[in-house]
């Protein structure tokens, strides 16, 4: 008998995703479901939920970019920073001892460090139509290729591995949290998504995932309505005149792009606060206004992990929607209110009902 259970959605996706970035980035698996809480999860939470001290430092750094260099301070929790550095160094040492080549992000960085990276090996992305929504992606097909042109140090390897794990941990978890919340509120959309993912009988290979157009649309609309990163930051490479406003942005100026406001602008998205995956179905994509949808940034400096994050989120969503039904409970909020002073979008605790489909 299927039993309706209330769950805290903020926790489930991050635990579900915990081993995924580790396996794909570091070639090692982490138990995130055991009774003993994983150290990876413990320290990752410290990084994505910064303390007041970190917030104060962040505000100072915005005004004085060299402040950390002058003082030797860090925006990262010292314990978490030391843990991840030690973990990556341990994995590297084991690989050097075993002399085994892995197919993951860390191995690419090590190959770049050793000048043995094969930049001719482009990934096979046949059938992936993501660029119709997220913009041209030629610049990120092989994001590490440019590293060959410079010396890659141990610091580069450690920092890149650290960012790969942390950046994909909370953001993808938040995306799935908001997706399941919207599905719980919209039985019609959830039923349509279930009908699509169930046709593949649990075979969620890359080739099958890219065929799921409604899943793609649900993910895209969730990223529009609840983009984990509420703003993007860029630095002006040269003096730039802002249209006919009479405003000139001086070279070197930090520019914050308010993604939240763009994604919720009724000029670009009619009834912007309404969750409507149909906006991103193939037959409607020609109505999207260029440069008004940027959950991963835009242009040559957009998120290098975009494809990985999308495929990870789609695979996780397909598995979970195929196995479980999400529903509204007495504890499910009718609307979400973003909390202030957060690096990432945070709407507080979200509870929904969940029951097995079989």
Task: List residues forming the annotated binding site for heme.
Answer: 303
Q: Tokens 């969730």, residue?
A: 222
Please check whether residue 6 is in contact with residue 351, taking contact to mean a CB–CB distance below 8 angstroms: yes
Helical H segments across the chain, by residue range: 12-17, 19-26, 39-48, 52-63, 67-71, 78-98, 105-113, 131-134, 154-185, 187-198, 206-209, 213-225, 259-263, 306-323
Structure tokens at 101: 């080549």
| Alpha-carbon distance values, 263 to 86, 231, 239, 293, 334 (Å) | 40, 11, 27, 6, 21
Q: CA-to-CA distance for 257 and 299, rounded, in angstroms?
A: 13
Q: Which residues carry a binding-site annotation?
A: 303
Query: Rounded CA gap, 106 and 20, in Å?
Result: 14
CB-CB contact of 333 with 298 (8 Å): no
Q: Nearest-5° angle of CA 186, CA 192, CA 195?
A: 135
Q: How many angstroms from the chain centroid is the CA of residue 63?
A: 27
| Residue 93 to residue 104: CA distance in whole angstroms | 16
CA 163 to chain centre: 11
d(CA 295, CA 224): 7
Q: Which of 318, 40, 294, 63 is nearest to 176 (CA)?
A: 318
Listed in sequence order, the residues at least 6 apart from 105 whose beta carbon sits closer than 8 Å to its beta carbon are 24, 25, 26, 160, 161, 164
d(CA 198, CA 201): 6
């Amino acid at each position: 008998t299927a039993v309706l259970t209330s769950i805290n959605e903020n926790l489930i996706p991050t635990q579900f995703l915990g081993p995924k970035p580790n396996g794909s980035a570091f070639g090692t698996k982490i138990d995130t479901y055991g009774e003993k809480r994983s150290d990876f999860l413990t320290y990752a939470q410290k990084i994505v939920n910064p303390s007041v001290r970190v917030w104060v430092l962040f505000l100072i750094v915005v005004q004085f970019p060299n402040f950390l260099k002058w003082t030797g301070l860090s925006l990262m929790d010292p314990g978490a920073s030391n843990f991840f550095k030690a973990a990556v160094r341990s994995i590297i040492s084991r690989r050097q001892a075993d002399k085994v080549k892995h197919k993951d992000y860390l191995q690419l960085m090590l190959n770049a460090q050793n000048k043995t990276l094969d930049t001719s090996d482009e990934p096979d992305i046949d059938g992936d139509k993501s660029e119709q929504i997220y913009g041209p992606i030629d610049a990120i097909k092989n994001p590490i290729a440019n590293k060959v042109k410079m010396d890659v140090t141990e610091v580069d390897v450690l920092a890149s591995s650290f960012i790969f794990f942390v950046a994909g941990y909370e953001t993808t978890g938040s995306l799935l949290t908001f997706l399941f919340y919207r599905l719980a509120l919209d039985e019609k959309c959830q039923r349509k998504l279930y009908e699509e993912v169930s046709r593949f009988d649990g075979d969620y290979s890359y080739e099958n995932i890219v065929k799921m157009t409604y899943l793609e649309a649900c993910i895209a609309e969730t990223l529009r309505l609840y983009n984990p990163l509420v703003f993007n930051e860029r630095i002006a490479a040269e003096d730039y005149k802002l249209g006919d406003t009479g405003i000139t942005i001086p070279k070197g100026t930090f520019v914050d792009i308010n993604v939240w406001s763009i994604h919720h602008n009724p000029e670009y998205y009619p009834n912007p606060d309404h969750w409507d995956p149909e906006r991103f179905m193939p037959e409607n994509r020609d109505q999207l206004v260029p440069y008004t949808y940027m959950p991963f940034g835009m242009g040559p400096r957009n998120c290098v992990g975009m494809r990985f994050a999308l495929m990870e989120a789609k695979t996780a969503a397909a598995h979970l929607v195929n196995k479980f039904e999400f529903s509204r409970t007495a504890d499910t909020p009718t609307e979400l209110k973003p909390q202030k002073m957060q690096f990432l979008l945070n709407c507080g605790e979200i509870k929904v009902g969940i029951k097995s489909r079989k």
